Copies of this chain bind each other. A is one copy, B any other.
């Protein structure tokens, strides 16, 4: 997609946020969470290094329907190209070896210059109170002592449930990395390898396909640990006749993929073969049942009925967060809509092993499109 067309998607998203802002009678909104920053600005904080010691925040997006929109970045972060034409970018000095550290002061001055001169009149500011640090709120209060905070976290999350075409294409790119990871595993799994060795092959194939380091969250367990279904890879060797359960969740440019395969390192006992077939059959029954208007709990119910009453959800939305609405759970009455992206992950857990399969799906106007398509085989 061309950059100019791409920017239109962000413009549309910001326009909708401005509508929310007007409805809530907000003077401006401050976006501070990673998922919302990606959604509104295209900025992706590369979290694999942890938090920088030289930043109050990697980025802050200030949406002002009246005065325009500014992305404030630490000057060691890259401004996103996709929104260069629609967002003003301001930076604060994050680190200098020439003088004592002063990034909090620099941040403070930048925020003040963006939000404008102080006033004692009452203003209302939309924030995400779970991600905005007290320091940043203090800066605004020092300019506007009569500020009234309005938490817009839930409003923002609701806005992101139905994906636009740009988001779908970005999630598809992440989903391709999922399939690649599963293919790499299927081609390389054998007893004698450690979980970490195999995980390393997966990471390498994903990084090389993407041409950069891609964060990958993963349940990656073999043998008895598959019975619990989760955990990070360890130095444990995979033994003859053990299963490997690999739930791969890569994050590419701020959008997550999600998939889970279970494969055998050697001989398969017949109960495992039956369970695998049951999980796979259930997964595809659920995929067939997906269409707009179906309620989330109905998909959950179908999977529990046809597969197993596993002690976790049947699935969840995926986007700039790896778990978001619609949650495919027993209690969730939310109707599926075209444009939602959901992961379904039925499983069967026995005393000594577990089998889980997961595909990522786009709800279309009359059904579901598979975004991950690897053909899982035990």
Provide the bound-state CA to CA distance between A348 and B66, in Å: 49
Mask of A16-43 contacts with B, CB within 8 angstroms, 1/0? 0000000000000000001100000000
- List chain B residues, Cβ under 8 A from A35: 53
Contact call A215/B134, Cβ cutoff below 8 A: no
Contact of A134 among B134, B194, B217, B232 (CB under 8 A): B134
Nearest first, the 8 closest Cβ-Cβ pairs linking A and B are A97-B313, A211-B235, A200-B204, A129-B135, A49-B217, A47-B50, A129-B134, A97-B329
B197 touches A213 (CB 8 A): no
A207 cross-chain contacts in B, Cβ below 8 A: 196, 199-200, 233
A212 vs chain B, min Cβ distance (A):
6
**Chain B residue at minimal CB-CB distance from A323:** B53
In the assembled complex, which residues on chain B have CB atoms less than 8 Å from the CB atom of A97?
312-313, 327, 329-330
Interface residue ranges, A against B (CB under 8 Å): 34-35, 46-51, 53-54, 56, 95, 97-101, 104, 127, 129-135, 137-138, 149, 151, 194, 196-197, 199-200, 203-204, 207-208, 211-213, 215, 217, 232-235, 251, 312-313, 321-324, 327, 329-332
| Total copies of the chain | 2
In the assembled complex, the CB of A218 is this many whole angstroms from the nearest CB of chain B, namely 8
List B contacts of A135 (CB < 8 A): 129-130, 151
Cα A13 to Cα B216 with chains together (Å): 35
Using Cβ atoms and an 8 Å threshold, which residues of chain B touch A235?
Answer: 208, 211-212
Chain B residues with Cβ under 8 A from A46's Cβ? Answer: 232
The smallest beta-carbon distance between A263 and chain B, in angstroms, is 20
> Are B197 and A211 touching (Cβ within 8 A)?
no
Q: Are A47 and B51 in contact (CB under 8 A)?
A: yes
Residue of B nearest to A54 (CB): B323
Contact of A133 among B34, B133, B330 (CB under 8 A): B133
Taken together as a complex, chains A and B put the C-alpha atoms of A235 and B196 apart, in Å, by 22
A330 surroundings in chain B (CB, below 8 A): 97-98
Q: Is the CB of B204 within 8 A of A196?
A: yes
Query: Can you give 12 A-B contacts (C-beta < 8 A)?
Result: A34-B51, A50-B215, A50-B322, A97-B327, A104-B130, A127-B134, A129-B133, A129-B135, A131-B133, A133-B133, A200-B200, A212-B232
